[in-house]
Amino acid sequence: MDNSFMEKVIEDELFFPADREISRKLTGWYLEHKRELPWRETEDPYRIWVSEIILQQTRVAQGMDYYLRFIRRFPDMASLASAEEDEVLKYWQGLGYYSRARNLHAAAKMIREQYGGKFPESYDEVLSLKGVGEYTAAAIVSAAWNMPYPVVDGNVFRVLSRLFAEDTPIDSQKGKNKFTRLAGLLMNPAEARLHNQAIMEFGALQCVPKKPDCRQCVFTDKCRAYASGQVEYYPVKQNKTKTRNRYFHYFHIIYKGNTWLHRRLAGDIWTGLYEFPLIETDTPSDFATLQGAETFRRIFADTGELRITVERPKEKHVLSHQVLDITFYRIEIEKPSATLASYLQVTPDELDAYAVPRIIHLYLSGF
């Protein structure tokens, strides 16, 4: 693939200030097609920050309700900084990637302590917040204060790599540098807010990953990937991420209506959330095999006869690099074992107050 055109663009920084056609077309398209989203109606950095963190791994349609509920409960930095982590996680329940919520909460406390609760106003200070990377920092400072920092997210990588038929892998440092530089060159610094939102929205709605409608695109005559008939070849990645299969077997143990939970520890998915007693295996296991496991024997030692009233067959739960195969067993016991004392005994009324992974929430809701 010939990269010389893009190299030339990047070398010749004078090219773009004189020709802002790409940015003009993007912003023109944006003003006509943009979605009305609540975080676009504000220049409050706190609200923009919350929306950016929610949208890091979440689609807009799903993130909207969460954003509105979150902002209703935590309308400003002070309310978030003074909340308990468990409550913040509860408001995040179902969104996944809970480290985002923990980092958001930790950063709010840091802002309260270091900046007197006022959102920091320089790019470097915003970048130093927990959970904020280069993309998020650029998105916040450009949307809140119109600072000329280009955003480069998955949508922007896709749009630029196609427009310029650029095949430097986007997951390489070289690729990141190149695309960030190009994104900066394309931007009119006086319209950073508008330009950044336009290019991201263009990637989200028009230049979509699969089968974009290139014949109805403002760049039909300019897009090099379209001209070469290789739109879906871009963007190029060097590392295809390996997926790990995990098998979770949850025991929803019932005794006099109560059940048992425990809190997941750091260093794995769902840190800080609550779950039923669990046995994890590397391969699929049936109930008879689980009964032979040491953990099972400890949990159910001297619990009397086990009445399995629900055996919820395997649920597939796909995370970014993992596929979880999850089975639920609802098991009534005659008396609790000594091991269960190390778990948290929870009454049916209390159960709803605990933040649990979405898959457990769905199970408890009877789905």
| CA angle at 112 for the pair 110 and 113, rounded to the nearest 5° | 65
Residue 182 interacts with ligand SF4 (CB under 6 A)? no
Write down the least CB distance from residue 159 to ligand SF4, Å.
6
Binding window for ligand SF4 (CB under 6 A); candidates: 23-31, 44-52, 145-153, 156-164 = 156-164
Write down the least CB distance from residue 3 to ligand SF4, Å.
17
Q: Which residues contact 205 (CB under 8 A, 6 or more apart)?
A: 33, 35
Residue 204 interacts with ligand SF4 (CB under 6 A)? no
**Is 52 annotated in the active site?**
yes
Sketch the per residue contact string, 32 through 71, with ligand SF4: x for CB under 6 A, - otherwise. Answer: ----------------------------------------
Residue 272 interacts with ligand SF4 (CB under 6 A)? no
Q: Whole-angstrom Cα distance, residue 179 to residue 152? A: 7
If we measure between CA atoms, which residue out of 101, 84, 94 comes closest to residue 50?
Answer: 101
Question: Using omega within 30 degrees of 0 as the cis cutoff, is the peptide bond preceding 235 cis?
Answer: yes
Parallel, antiparallel or unpaired: strands 322-332 and 244-254? parallel
Contact 55, 84 (CB under 8 A): no
Which one among 143, 207, 273, 299 touches ligand SF4, defined by CB under 6 A? 207
Binding window for ligand SF4 (CB under 6 A); candidates: 2-10, 142-150, 221-229, 251-259 = 221-229
Of 197 and 206, the one with the shorter C-beta distance to ligand SF4 is: 206
Helix (H/G/I), strand (E/B), else coil: 307: strand
Helix (H/G/I), strand (E/B), else coil: 245: strand
Residue 163 interacts with ligand SF4 (CB under 6 A)? yes
Number of residues that bind ligand SF4 (CB under 6 A): 14
User: Considering just the CA atoms, what is the radius of gyration of the chain in Å?
Assistant: 25
If we measure between CA atoms, which residue out of 51, 69, 39, 57 comes closest to residue 98?
Answer: 57
Count CA atoms within 13 Å of residue 257 on its CB side.
5
Contact 318, 57 (CB under 8 A): no
Annotated catalytic residue within 21, 41, 43, 52: 52
Which one among 10, 88, 225, 340 touches ligand SF4, defined by CB under 6 A? 225
Binding window for ligand SF4 (CB under 6 A); candidates: 34-42, 136-144, 214-222, 263-271 = 214-222
What residues make contact with ligand SF4 under the rule CB under 6 A?
159, 162-163, 206-207, 212, 214, 217, 219-220, 223, 225-226, 231
Catalytic residues: 52
